Structure 1
Amino acid sequence: MSEHEFASLHVPGKPLVLPNVWDVAGARALVAAGFRAVGTTSLGVAASHGLPDGEDATLDETLRLVSRLATLPVLVTADIERGSVAAAVAAAEAGAVGVNVEDAFGDAAVHASLIRDIKRAVPGLFVNARTDTHWLRVGDVGEAVRRMRMYRDAGADGVFVPGVREPGDIARLVAAADVPLNVLAQPGGLTVAELGELGVARISLGSLLFRAALAALVETAMAVRLDNHVRTDLPTYQEVNG
């Protein structure tokens, strides 16, 4: 499996649904369910190690996870948060075919320079350039467009605008991107089919699976304590251990 294969999965109108994982067991289950690619989730990796997210505190844990995921028959892209050239190189050496780097709505020129340097250091790595215009506050589509174009011109292979929800805004971003547009799956938001009709090429699940797992963990423990129904269609011990 290669970087080229990963890039080929980004088809506007037929979006790649990318689940984000924090452990090998979850990744194995997703591979068995037919997913061809997974990403790491910075929140899931951070929280499962008792560390804060968004502060570049989990690179070592992320790299160890990537190296284990790379042994599976699945393409892996790593969330390296704000990132650095060294982090991107290390992710590629660990087996990642792509990285996600976020601007946290800081200086766009600095982020563009980082993208350019990463592409020079690891030309084949799929760089998904995230802008946080819609994540950190009410979105400014014009500013998102400006940043996306800067990152595209710096060599980004795709652009990511988490938090954008309105169909008109998404359509405008697709038209302006000229590279695959990645959005975040949002419960109660647009469906995969609807996002595909707008031209989206990738839909990341972000921290959704991790947060859903936490909810299921508490729900199941409470059900046992209260003598309520516990679902019986769970993976068996033997299946997981195998």
Structure 2
Amino acid sequence: MSETASPAFASLHRAGDPLLLANAWDHASASALAAQGFAAIGTTSLGVAAAAGLPDGSSATRDETLRLALALGSEPFLLSVDAEGGFSEDPEEVAGLAVELAAVGAVGVNLEDGLGPVALHAEKIAAVKAAAPGLFVNARTDTYWMGDGEGTRERLAAYQEAGADGVFVPGLSEPAEITAVLRDLDVPLNVLYTPGGPSVPRLADLGVHRVSLGSLLYRRALGAAVEAALAVREGREPDGGLPSYGEVQRLAT
């Protein structure tokens, strides 16, 4: 882990006591999570893209991501931004984005490789660390998310060598495979929580340092909204929590 990465954020990545990173998609969702004691909030690229009517993972939401970071970066919680692959294949352009994120108060950035060239993603990581050393770079590989896990070790080794402060392997959920990946790491390991997969206490026992909720909360909120509308249409009272108008107003300002 880089000695220059945000100490407050880096210190939350502990084996046996992992950071549970809740991911927001707007100001109100981030504020509501922070009010429940989440010291660090991440953004979800799917939530940001879907709310804007844009596709996720296609480098279409650079402006929306920066606008959200600007809205959240000065809030009293630590902010990590999901920046897809940096919204560019040019490492210097990705580094420029990192500088902008750091300037508005973000302390972390998530960069995914999309199973693209290992050397290119490593260049992006190195460029970001050179331009914005205070950002905690969480280098994501999609070897399990988009494949069968092949090449994970080589990719993570390259990303560590390039200066990543942590690594993220969404789709990695089998305890034996998590343990094997951890053996090769000198930086914190982040995995994605999945319903039906290992619980956070189980992941803590395995030595995971960070557990992200990804798009789960956004998708749950969307599902709850549809369920509520259907309940009203069918003459039933909607289930679940319901913040008041005033409470939402306070969260949004």
Structure 1 counterpart SS, 2:167: strand
1:119 counterpart = 2:158? no
Q: Deviations over 1:44-67 (max 9, x none)?
A: 000000001001110111111011
Structure 1: 5+ residue stretches without partners: none
Work out the CA distance in 1 between the residues paired with 2:57 and 2:22.
Answer: 19
CA distance in 2, matches of 1:38, 1:63: 15
Alignment match of 1:153 (pick from 141, 154, 161): 161
**Root mean square deviation, CA, Å:** 1.1
Structure 2 gaps, min length 5: 87-93
% of aligned pairs identical? Answer: 55
Higher deviation after alignment, 172-181 or 43-52: 172-181
Asked if the contact 2:74–2:104 (Cα under 8 Å) also holds between the matched residues in 1, the reply is no
- Find the residue that maps to 1:177 and give its secondary structure: coil
Q: What are the residue-to-residue correspondences of 1:59-208 with 2, within 5 Å?
A: 59-83=62-86, 84-140=94-150, 143-208=151-216
Q: Deviations over 1:168-217 (max 9, x none)?
A: 00011111111000000101100001101111000011110111011001
Superposition deviation, residue 232 in structure 1? 6.5
Give the CA deviation at 1:99. Answer: 0.4
Q: Which residue identity lines up with residue 150 of structure 1 in the other structure?
A: A
**TM-score, normalised to structure 2's length?**
0.92
Q: How far, CA to CA, are the matches of 1:49 and 1:29 in structure 2? A: 21
> Contact 2:13–2:19 (CA<8 Å) still a contact in 1?
yes
SS of corresponding position for 2:81 = strand
Is contact 2:96-2:131 (8 Å) kept? no
Count residues with an aligned counterpart: 239
**Do the aligned partners of 1:145 and 1:177 also contact (CA within 8 Å) in 2?**
no
1:52 aligns with 55
Deviating 4+ runs (over 2 angstroms): none
Equivalent of residue 231 in structure 2, options 218, 223, 237: 223
Stretch deviating more after TM superposition (50-59 or 87-96): 87-96
The Cα offsets for residues 89-140 of structure 1, whole Å up to 9 and x where unpaired, read as: 1111121101000110111111111111111111111000000100112222
